[in-house]
Structure 1
Amino acid sequence: MKLSRTDVMLMAFCTGLIVANIYYCQPLVILIAQEFKVSESHAGMVTYLTQAGYALGLFLVVPLGDMFERRKQILIITGMAVASLFLAAISHSFLLLQIASVLIGASSVVPQLILPMAANLSSDEKRGETIGIITSGLLIGILASRSISGSIAFLWGWRTMYFIAAGICTLLMILMAKRFPLSRPSFKGTYTELMASMWHYIKTEPILREAAMINFLAFGVLSAFWTTMVLFLANPPFNFQTLQIGLFGIAGAAGALAAPLVGKLSTGSNPRKNILIGLILQALSIAAFYYTGGQLYLFIIGIILIDIGQQAIHVTNQTRIYALIPEARNRLNTVFMSVSFVGAAVGSALGLWLWDSGQWPLFCFGSFAIILLNISIYKFYNNKFER
């Protein structure tokens, strides 16, 4: 069957609400630190543990989409997310919350099963646009989750957010069971052969290697920002509370509306140029952050730029890898997204370290250095592909 516009919008809706599970914790760091009597930077561990869990789930679970029926797999994993979110909500110690955070990340990989399903059911000429629309839903979910989480935590406490998220995922399970199409796999081998094939693709597909490396660093910069900005805004000169910090996610969500346009452009004759544009936008965003001072308008401009830049990089790279080997889309996506979210986890940890070492200025210098490294990788592969 082919996807209708309604199917695509439904997938974008589910993708955004499920991926939000990974990011609800970011505005909650201050409140978690206060309840468990740990430092704010130590409480920030829940952010990169959740991302590390997501990377683990991507590596171990998502490849199975090429082996088993995807709708059934999506429902089972969403059920695991419900249990993990509930565990976080009732955590009586910081250690238990850390364990729950890893499990939440590992069970929130459903968007990376939905995207290959959508790619398989889309025509070649519509694939980039479809991926762009669903990715737009994903990005809006990521960014709006911070505003929602900050607001709910301010009014009713941080645990309430996890209870609500568990309820949302329960409702989504019912909706997906009724509306998602069956998606039959093409791989007939064993799990060992399935996993081994990914290493073969890494060795033989230079586009996959380039896309994964660039996304590793780009996600690292983005994640470092969203983790560190909580500390930046909670301290002088702003001294913002959780509710106010969460509202800055709205600026990023506005930038996410560019994803469908990027998806259309990524099916053009030279989609790689979108990657360079994205890297330049990320660099401009860091400049805006550095010069923010007490001028919040620069900070908001920087948020919009960094998120549009990330979309240009991510949607373009994902569309490029889906075009490589249609019957292995889940495995290609596993390599691509696992590397990306390892980058996100490393970026969160690095952002906290830069903050502890030199506060906001050192974060900006470190992030700019990573972007320059990413541009160098882009140029290296540009020369390689031209030859």
Structure 2
Amino acid sequence: MSSIQSPHETAGGGASGRPPILLLAAGAGMAVASIYYSQPMLGMLGTDLQVSGGAVGLVPTLTQLGYAMGLLLLAPLGDRFDRRRIILAKVAVLFGALLLAGWAPSIGLLLGASLALGLAATMAQDIVPAAAAMTPAERRGKVVGTVMTGLLLGILLSRVVSGLVAEQLGWRAMFFAAAAGVALLGAALWRGLPRFAPSTQLGYGALMGSLFTLAARHRALRRAALAQSLLAVGFSAFWSTLAVMLHGAPFELGPAASGAFGLAGAAGALAAPLAGRIADRRGPELVTRLGAGIAAASFAVMALSPWVAPEGRLWLLLLSAVGFDLGIQASLIAHQTIIYGIDPGARSRLNAVLMTSMFVGMALGAVLGSHALAAFGWMGVTALATTASAAALAVRLWPSAERPRPVEEGTADAVDGSGIEGGIEPAPARCS
């Protein structure tokens, strides 16, 4: 297995070869899907393990907590160590955690497995920077878009798959089947991934401190993180309250109906590679504005619901879901394209800042969405999501005060990994 050890990669840039795009997309999707398998099966879990609803509710909570911890504490290690070794190590942990979850005879072991699942599932956030590092700048948007499509489909389809498998074969079979899939994925990644040269020699404490330094130094990173977190507020507010809204009058629909909306979101996610190609050709800044605008318009259209018949409201919600998913995912891909150009030697840390900010936005959206639904009904959720997306558009439209010059891959900035070692100042981002 040859290392990516050319001067291009030693500086944190990309390799000249073509990355195994479909393998990386499948890896990202399978990793992040592990976070969501348990959600449709919670009723079966509680009954089988004879625990209360509050106890079984800790299963997805700990999984999400583990993922958040992994984003902040583990994802930056991709700049310090060979990403291939990190990815394969997380594959092994994920495999073991899925097996433990499927075998777990008690809620205590299942909760421990759930936390480990979340930590290991951050492998997805190691794969995306790896794909960027393996790709020349002129094709990076398209490749990142394709890998992100796999990740997004993993999120959107995981609940559908686990619900069907659990209903036919039981909840343990879902975890065992997922473990088998991860084992096959690990073998493919072991054969298909090259080695990556570390881009920094910072110790762990300094590596974590550099997250704040990068955020303070690069306005482009701060704008991307703020805009994407605002979009995540609207996204999470919709999805966290949809099932409750559909369950009440006038719809009175069950979980299967809300699951079908995940398929609508998947249709929007499939357009992600197109967003990446536009970012390559026309620049990612345009895509961030188009994406935020489409999301805001899609949420705003839901305000027409009171004047539409119940059957028409479902179609309106489905079309809105396709629209805002498309807009939000297009913005995410464009934002990743922007931040990966800031400093090739710090891609894992830059991605950690962006994704952690987005995760905070999703958590905030879930809380605010629930309060909005309780206080003002579905129109409150619509207003919240529309306002948050419009604010993200305003962030992207606000003119930049920076005069950027490109970071050349292979410069001292890239080798140093954000310029923190040796007092080297990094070049500003090419986009803001």
* TM-score between the two structures when normalised by the length of structure 1: 0.88
| Aligned counterparts of 1:44 and 1:357: Cα–Cα separation in 2 | 24
Distance 1:58-1:265 versus aligned 2 partners, 3 A rule: same
CA distance in 1, matches of 2:56, 2:298: 26
| Equivalent residues of 2:38, 2:60 under 8 A apart | yes
> Which one-letter code corresponds to 1:314 in the other structure?
L
The 1:369/1:47 distance shift into structure 2, 3 A limit, reads farther
The letter of the residue matching 1:347 is G
Instruction: Give per-residue Cα distances to partners, 1:25-52, cap 9 Å, x unaligned.
Output: 444466667775538xx97775565334
The structure-2 alpha-carbon separation of the partners of 1:359 and 1:95, relative to structure 1 and needing over 3 Å to count, comes to farther
| TM-superposed deviation, 1:338 | 1.5
Counterpart amino acid of residue 53 in structure 2? V
Shift of 1:16: 1.3
Distance across 2 between alignment mates of 1:154 and 1:32 = 12
Task: Give the alignment partner of residue 38 of structure 1, picking from 28, 31, 53.
Answer: 53
The one-letter code sitting in structure 2 at the alignment partner of 1:54 is: Y
Gaps of 5+ in 1: none
Pairing partner for 1:315 from 327, 333, 349: 333
Whether the aligned pair in 2 keeps the contact of 1:272 and 1:316 (CA below 8 Å) is: yes
- 1:181-260 paired onto structure 2 within 5 Å: 181-260=194-273
The residue identity in structure 1 corresponding to 2:94 is A
Residue 97 (structure 2) aligns with: 84
Give the 5 Å matches for 1:1-387. 2=15, 7-28=20-41, 36-38=51-53, 47=60, 49-89=62-102, 100-292=113-305, 293-295=310-312, 296-380=314-398, 382=399, 384-385=401-402
Which ranges in structure 2 are unaligned for 5 or more consecutive residues?
A: 5-14, 405-432
- Separation in structure 2 between the aligned mates of residue 79 and residue 179 of structure 1, nearest angstrom: 16
Tell me the CA shift for residue 172 of structure 1: 1.4
Cα distance, 1:69–1:386 mapped onto 2, change above 3 Å: closer
Cα 1:221–1:50 change in 2 (3 A) is farther
- What amino acid maps onto 1:74 in structure 2? I
After superposition, the Cα gap between the structure-2 partners of 1:168 and 1:107, relative to the gap in structure 1 and judged at 3 Å, is same
**Cα gap change, 1:47/1:351 in structure 2, threshold over 3 Å: closer, same or farther?**
farther
Contact 2:289 2:397 in 1 (8 A): no
Report if aligned partners of 1:212, 1:336 keep a CA contact under 8 Å in 2.
Answer: yes
Whether contact under 8 Å (1:51, 1:341) holds in the other structure is no
Q: Is the 8 A contact 2:297 2:386 kept in 1?
A: no
d(CA) in 2 for partners of 1:30, 1:362: 29
Moved more, 348-357 or 18-27: 348-357
Deviations 1:137-159 (A, max 9, x none): 11122222232223223434445
1:153, 1:242 within 8 Å by CA — same for their partners in 2? Answer: no
What are the superposed Cα offsets for residues 290-320 of structure 1, whole Å, 9 maximum, x if unpaired?
A: 4444432112101111110111210000000
When the two structures are aligned, how many residues end up with a matched partner?
A: 384
